[in-house]
Amino acid sequence: MTNRFACFFAVFLTAPALAADLNDAVRKDYDDYLADLFDHFHRNPELSTIEFETARRMAKELRDAGFDVTENVGGTGIVALLENGPGPLVMMRADMDGLPVEEKSGLENASRATQTDPITGNTVFTMHACGHDVHITSLVGTARQMAARKDAWSGTLMLIVQPAEERVLGARAMKDDDLWGRFGRPDYALAFHVSSSDVAGVINVSEGMPYAGADTVDIIIHGVGAHGASPHRGKDPIVLGSQIVLALQTLVARELSPREAGVVTVGSFHSGTKHNIISDEAHLQLTVRNTSEETRNILLNGIKRIAENMGRVAGLPEDRLPEVIVSDESVPPTRNNAELARRLKVAWADSMGDDAVVDIPTKGMGAEDFPFFTDDPEIPSVYWAIGGTPQKDFDTEMAGGPPVPSHHSPLFKISPEPAVRAGVESTVVALLALLQE
Ligand SMILES: [Zn+2]
Ligand SMILES: [Zn+2]
């Protein structure tokens, strides 16, 4: 068996011995420590930008592991550094926010936590419905392993605990807080996401684009209110909004090249108060996904053109046409550095076995704010997925049973064992491969 670690560890451990040693150590740390920590995070999710207790706990855990910790970077973000001689600076990021979802997973440790939603002001249930509890627990496990293995690597390790990924605000906020200026600009950047659509424990890594680019768009339709029995006296924004929703579907179907991926989803359509009143306004909320700047421009320009012109079709005056507002909550696609991805694949296969590493292209157009760390200036990066669903759950679905719940669903559930363990092990293997003089 060949192993790129063999040369570094020849004096200490052979490659298979190292792999076995790491596997045993992570298994033991999971049983003794990380399982309880995961349970704590799972029961106590916090919403984007107000992850105060989660951040406090993460700062303590990383300090206890021996890292130099700075809190309140870009809001509740944390930067933890471990300097260990000459060599590269390598960054690993974990996002920590939960979602305003009431957990209905049926799990014994299901969250019953609530918080005041900073967007609506309402008290809402909170849930780790995207699995970020796996990410932060794994980050603590990684910190503990790397601190215990300082003779096996050289350089500086930077662990980032990021707020507000779900609102794609946190990475940008940390960058805007002079992240690289204050703590150094990494030579490599890494991150993973647990995935309910991959088999628990596997590493799914692509040499291309694991995540799409995303824009958040609002359309405000100004109508003219009237009695529901006198439509000729008004301009009905619900009818106009419906026409806009349907017309938008032609953008992907008829304007994008059939080999180019894009999504236009109208996720929310609000208007009106009562059966017999024609409302004077409608509000549409859209998510728009792309795989390139060119696709993005076609979709965003198309939305504006369709919304405004459908307003003209309805006979609205020029100063009352539908307004299209593209939010700042926008992210570019996440692109892996192909060479780095190939390098890490070899390291993972050597250490964790060929079967543990797969490259299954994603079918969805999920997005991430990780590229705010890596795009400008460009930092070679790899973003991988760790499977979180037992094979038997996929088998049950195939046999006509309940489908495997998706991320953000109230039914979402991840098997922390082995997902947390695979998260720690894959991260440590990647870091040991990169953190060499
Ligand atoms: Zn999510
Ligand atoms: Zn997520």
Report pLDDT digits (tens) over 106-138. 999 999 999 999 999 999 999 999 999 999 999
Q: Which helix (H) or strand (E) holds 296?
A: helix 293-313
Position of tokens 């292209």? 361
pLDDT band at 11 (very low <50, low <70, confident <90, very high): very low
Residue 275 has pLDDT above 90, yes or no: yes
Q: What is the mean pLDDT of residues 80-91?
A: 98
Q: What is the mean pLDDT of residues 325-348?
A: 94
Q: How far is the CA of 132 from the centre of ligand 1 (A)?
A: 8
Looking at residue 123, what is its pLDDT? 97
Looking at residue 362, what is its pLDDT? 84
Looking at residue 3, what is its pLDDT? 45
Do residues 338 and 198 make contact, with C-beta atoms less than 8 angstroms apart? no
Q: How far is the CA of 251 from the centre of ligand 2 (A)?
A: 27
Tell me the pLDDT tens digit for each residue of 290-299: 999 999 999 9
Q: How far is the CA of 369 from the centre of ligand 2 (A)?
A: 10
Arithmetic mean of pLDDT over the chain? 95
pLDDT band at 364 (very low <50, low <70, confident <90, very high): confident
Residue 6 has pLDDT above 50, yes or no: no
Residue 100 has pLDDT above 80, yes or no: yes
Give the residue among 211, 183, 151, 203 at the shortest CA–CA distance from 364. 211
Q: How far is the CA of 167 from the centre of ligand 1 (A)?
A: 9
Say which ligand is closest to the CA of 194. 2
Q: How far is the CA of 422 from the centre of ligand 1 (A)?
A: 20
Say which ligand is closest to the CA of 195. 2
| Peptide bond before residue 332 is cis, with ω within 30 degrees of 0 | no
Q: What is the mean pLDDT of residues 12-40?
A: 89
Residue 8 has pLDDT above 70, yes or no: no
Give the residue among 224, 241, 242 at the shortest CA–CA distance from 233. 224
Residue 422 has pLDDT above 60, yes or no: yes
Q: How far is the CA of 407 from the centre of ligand 1 (A)?
A: 6
* Helix 15-29 with 416-434: angle, nearest 10 deg: 140
Q: How far is the CA of 195 from the centre of ligand 2 (A)?
A: 9
Q: How far is the CA of 42 from the centre of ligand 2 (A)?
A: 14
Looking at residue 183, what is its pLDDT? 98
Q: How far is the CA of 200 from the centre of ligand 2 (A)?
A: 16
| Peptide bond before residue 237 is cis, with ω within 30 degrees of 0 | no
